[in-house]
Amino acid sequence: MIASSFEYFAPTSVDEALSLLSEHGDDAKILAGGHSLIPAMKLRLAEPAVLIDIQRVEGLKGISESDGKLVIGALATHHELESSDLVNRTLPILAQTAGEIGDVQVRNKGTIGGSLSHADPAADWPATILALDADLKIVGSGGERVVKATDFFEELYTTALEADEILTEIHVSIPDGNTTGTYLKLHQVASGFALTGVAAVLSKSGDVCENIAVGITGVSDVPYRASEVESALAGRALTADNIAAAAEKAADGVDILEDIHASEAYRSNLAKVYTRRAIEGAAS
């Protein structure tokens, strides 16, 4: 319940935060909403010597539209994404995903940037961010770079972020009216994390699927794009049979997690069933 002692900094600019990060290196942790880090610190699973609270950093908040893209500040809370008119109008799957995270209090405080940087294998955002092919803007002492969502999640709790870098923005292209998406999730009954979460985004021409992207979380160490499913369906009619056949490939080639909440066989089954249902939901 009680964290180890640490030194606390509350920078007000990205530059200030970055210089603190380079100064303290691996001893430092970035504190955003705190809903991944503080619980770990209370159990002393994380004992950073330095905490850099970026809550007051200018320019990391807010959600806006720019050049056909939705620009989401890393400090945007799940609640802001869930309730934003702009998000609900342009990319409702983001609002839908946000609404599936934790509970009201967690959504009020937890941030999209914090969640993505923490990279919990059962977090909700990765599925949707993958399916939307988002770009993640990262700044570090070496400057600014953009990483594709598909390149961001590397290993369990490990992302493309270097120790001296901060995720600052998430950019998502706003699709045309032909594109629809659904995020479907089976909650782990205790924690509320995803036993399986599937985000399906697709566009169709008549009954034919033009483009499809499926992001899956909770099933493996690392969230992934179900590319076998996508290729099995792209260019095909969105019939129940075709969807079902494609969804059967949802866990192909994936190392599937097993824990006290779900066996490997069950998770594999969930991935397929939830993929099918998510695609059906998006297609309907």
Partner 1 sequence: MATMAGPSRLIGAPIKRREDPRLVQGLSHYVDDIKLVNMHHCTFLRSDYAHADIKSIDTEAAENLSGVVKVITGVDIQGKVGSIPCAAEIEGLKVPDHPALAVDRVRFVGEPIAAVVATDPYVARDALDLIEVEYDELPTVVDLDDAIESDSTVIYDEFGDNIAFTMPLDAGDVDAAFAEADHVVSQRFVNQRLIPNSIEPRGVLAEYLPGEGTLTVWSSTQVPHHLKTILSLLLDLPEQLVRVIAPEVGGGFGSKLNVYPEEAVVAYLATELRKPVKWIEKRSEGFTTTIHGRDQVDYVDMAVKNDGTITALRAKLLANMGAYHQLLTPIIPVLTYLMMPGAYKISNIKLELIGVFTNKMATDAYRGAGRPEATHIIERMVDLAAQKLGMDPKEIRFKNFPQPDEFPLEMATGVTYDSGNYQMSFNKALDTVDYANLRTRQAELRSQGRYLGIGVATYAEICGMGPSVGVAGGGWESSTVRIERTGKVTVLTGVSPHGQGQETSFAQIVADEYGISIDDIVVIHGDTGRQPQGIGTFGSRATAVGGAALIIATQQVKEKMAQIAAHMLEANVDDLVFEDGNIFVQGSPDSAVTFADVAATAHVAVNLPPDVEPGLEATHFFEPSNFTYPFGAHISIVEVDPETGEIDLQRYVAVDDCGNIINPLLVDGQVHGGIAQGLGQAMYEGAVYDENGQLLTGSFMDYAIPKATQVPRFETEHTTTPSPVNPLGVKGVGEAGTIASSPCLVNAVVDALSPFGVTDIDMPMTPNRVWQAIQDAQ
Partner 2 sequence: MATTQINTTINGEDYTHEVEPRLLLVHYLREVAGLTGTHVGCETSLCGACTAIVDGQAVKTCTMLAVQADGADITTIEGLAQDGELHPIQEGFWERHGLQCGFCTPGMIVAAHQLLERNPSPTEEEIRHGLEGNFCRCTGYQHIVDAVQYAAEKMQG
Q: Is 62 in the site for partner 2 (CB under 8 A)?
A: no
CA atoms within 13 A on the CB side of 87: 24
**Sheet containing strand 165-173, strands side by side:** 63-66, 69-73, 165-173, 135-140, 143-148
Nearest in space to 104 (alpha carbons), one of 76, 78, 75, 72:
78
Q: Which of the residues 24 through 63 are near partner 1 (CB under 8 A)?
A: 43-44
| Interface mask toward partner 2 for 31-50; x: CB under 8 A | x--xx--xx-xxx-------
Q: How far is the CB of 184 from partner 2 (least distance, A)?
A: 17
Q: How far is the CB of 83 from partner 1 (least distance, A)?
A: 19
Q: How far is the CB of 80 from partner 1 (least distance, A)?
A: 22
Nearest in space to 212 (alpha carbons), one of 249, 186, 258:
249
Q: Which of the residues 138 through 197 are near partner 1 (CB under 8 A)?
A: 186, 189-191, 195
Q: Which of the residues 149 through 208 are near partner 2 (CB under 8 A)?
A: 190-192
Q: Is 240 in the site for partner 1 (CB under 8 A)?
A: no
Residue written as token pair 């260019």:
235
Question: What element of type H or E holds 161?
Answer: none
Q: Which of the residues 104 through 123 are near partner 1 (CB under 8 A)?
A: none
- Asked if residue 200 lies in contact with residue 214, where contact means CB atoms within 8 angstroms, the answer is yes
- Asked if residue 222 lies in contact with residue 247, where contact means CB atoms within 8 angstroms, the answer is no
Contact window for partner 1 (CB under 8 A) among 61-69, 153-161, 169-177, 257-265? 257-265
Q: How far is the CB of 8 from partner 1 (least distance, A)?
A: 15
d(CA 31, CA 54): 6
Q: How far is the CB of 188 from partner 1 (least distance, A)?
A: 8
157 binds, among partner 1, partner 2, none (CB under 5 to 8 A by kind): none
The length of the chain, given as a count of residues: 284
